[in-house]
């Protein structure tokens, strides 16, 4: 009897499942026949990437560090999840685009792999072709090419000190206007899609305002930063180049948690924060060059007077690369970068003073579009000084390894 009951129940559930499948199929066919529009959530896309990194092979000086680059460089650094990001985006209306990107690999300094918001913005199209857009929310501020370039696409494992010192995490809260002709927007998209290490679509022209204290930090004054950028990709035969120029100005306040209790400074620790930069990119078809340089002024620690003062700054880099196709789906990118920077990092303790001279050479090996390995060797000389680290000049070499999963 028990066997017969179980058999009857299984037959019943099978019938229900078949009826349910047929009903769902009929509903789909009926919806298509009625010509109903897709729901707004049908336009979502989800992707992301994860980076696992180790920086200490053949290390010659454990005291050589770089806080804004990668905190696991040097003493007590181990294997880390450098980034663990999920991108959620889509059109909720033909003129309203949204983008949200959390990172599961952020840190507080003592706790690793905490969830932190990176991007959260909407783009409002002002015309049918979306050539004119306004971006509202937290996003990358359009200053520099490498700053705009995703870490998922960049060849050197960290951004250069010269331009990245302008904006920690490259992001802030603001309102940015973008303009680009339809054909240039398509070209921006193809430079990423075709694996040419593009920066993405940040317009031919951009102009906007933002808080100036960087992402996930509260505003500290009543003065907004102003930024503008012009970057124009040009196709010349088989080659593509992209020259650009950008600038920003504002007032930056060094918050209490970013300075020692005894250090001296300007009233309210508020400082002029201004920069201008030039960019040039020759996309790797197959040889590529990427070069940028910036000049400006901002807060900087002075070890002689033990105070934070407004000082001039300058720095940049040049990266050479090749795109080489291997067997199966393999793609290789050998690269080499030379960089220098004389200035401060306003986001670090006491607006830490820096002098940087560095070479990084390596190889990115893409086994397929989902997985890649990068190995690079760094020869570095860095002076970084604040009220706790005085006369601190460190030199050394080390090898870096990274595995990246794309999804």
Question: Which of these, 353, 347, 339, lies nearest to 309 by C-alpha position?
Answer: 353
Query: What residues of the chain score a pLDDT lower than 70?
Result: 1-38, 40
164's enclosing H/E stretch is: helix 161-164
Q: What is the per-residue pLDDT across 176-215, written as a single tens digit (0 to 9) for each? A: 999 999 999 999 999 999 999 999 999 999 999 999 999 9
Residue that has been written with the tokens 């720095």 in this structure: 315
The per-residue pLDDT for 260 is: 96
The per-residue pLDDT for 19 is: 34
Q: How far apart are the first and last CA of the chain?
A: 52
Q: Please say whether the beta carbons of 103 and 87 come within 8 A.
A: no
Neighbours of 400 (CB within 10 A): 22
Q: Domain-by-domain residue ranges, the chain? A: 38-118
| pTM of the predicted protein model | 0.89
The per-residue pLDDT for 37 is: 66
Q: What is the per-residue pLDDT across 92-117, written as a single tens digit (0 to 9) for each? A: 999 999 999 999 999 877 788 999 99
The per-residue pLDDT for 225 is: 98
The number of helix segments (H) and strand segments (E) in the chain equals 4, 18
d(CA 305, CA 87): 46
Distance of CA 359 to the CA centre of its chain: 21
The per-residue pLDDT for 108 is: 76
**Radius of gyration (Cα) for the chain, nearest Å?**
25
């Amino acid at each position: 009897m028990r066997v017969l009951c179980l058999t009857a129940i299984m037959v019943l559930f099978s019938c229900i499942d078949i009826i349910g499948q047929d009903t769902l199929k009929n509903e789909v066919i009926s919806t298509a026949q009625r010509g109903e529009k897709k729901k707004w959530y049908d336009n979502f896309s989800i992707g992301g990437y994860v980076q696992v990194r180790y920086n200490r092979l053949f290390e010659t000086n454990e005291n050589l560090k770089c806080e804004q680059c990668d905190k696991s460089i040097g003493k007590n650094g181990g294997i880390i999840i450098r980034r663990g990001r999920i991108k959620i985006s889509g059109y909720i209306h033909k003129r309203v685009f949204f983008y949200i990107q959390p990172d599961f690999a952020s840190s507080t300094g003592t706790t690793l792999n905490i969830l932190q918001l990176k991007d959260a913005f909407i783009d409002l199209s002002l015309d049918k072709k979306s050539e004119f857009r306004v971006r509202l929310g937290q996003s990358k501020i359009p200053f520099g090419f490498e700053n705009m370039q995703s870490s998922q696409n960049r060849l050197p494992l960290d951004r250069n000190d010269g331009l990245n010192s302008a904006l920690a995490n490259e992001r802030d809260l603001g309102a940015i206007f973008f303009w680009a002709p339809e054909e240039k927007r398509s070209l921006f998209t193809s430079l990423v899609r075709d694996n040419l290490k593009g920066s993405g679509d940040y317009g031919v022209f951009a102009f906007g305002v933002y808080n100036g204290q960087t992402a996930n930090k509260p505003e500290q004054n009543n003065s907004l930063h102003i930024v503008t950028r012009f970057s124009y990709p040009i196709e010349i035969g088989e080659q593509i180049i992209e020259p650009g120029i950008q600038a920003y100005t504002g007032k930056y306040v060094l918050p209490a948690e970013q300075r020692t209790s005894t250090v001296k400074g300007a009233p309210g620790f508020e400082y002029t924060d201004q920069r201008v930069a030039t960019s040039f990119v020759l996309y790797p078809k197959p040889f590529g060059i990427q070069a940028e340089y910036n000049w400006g002024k901002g807060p900087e620690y002075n070890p002689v007077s033990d105070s934070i003062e407004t000082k001039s700054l300058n720095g940049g880099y040049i990266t050479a690369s090749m795109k080489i196709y291997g067997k199966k789906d393999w793609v290789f990118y050998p690269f080499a970068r030379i960089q220098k920077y004389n200035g401060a990092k306003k986001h670090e303790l006491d607006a830490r003073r820096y002098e940087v001279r560095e070479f990084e050479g390596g190889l990115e090996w893409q086994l397929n579009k989902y997985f890649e390995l990068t190995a690079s060797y760094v020869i570095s000389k860095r002076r970084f000084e604040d009220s706790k680290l005085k006369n601190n000049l460190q030199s050394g070499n080390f090898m870096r390894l990274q595995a990246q999963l794309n999804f």
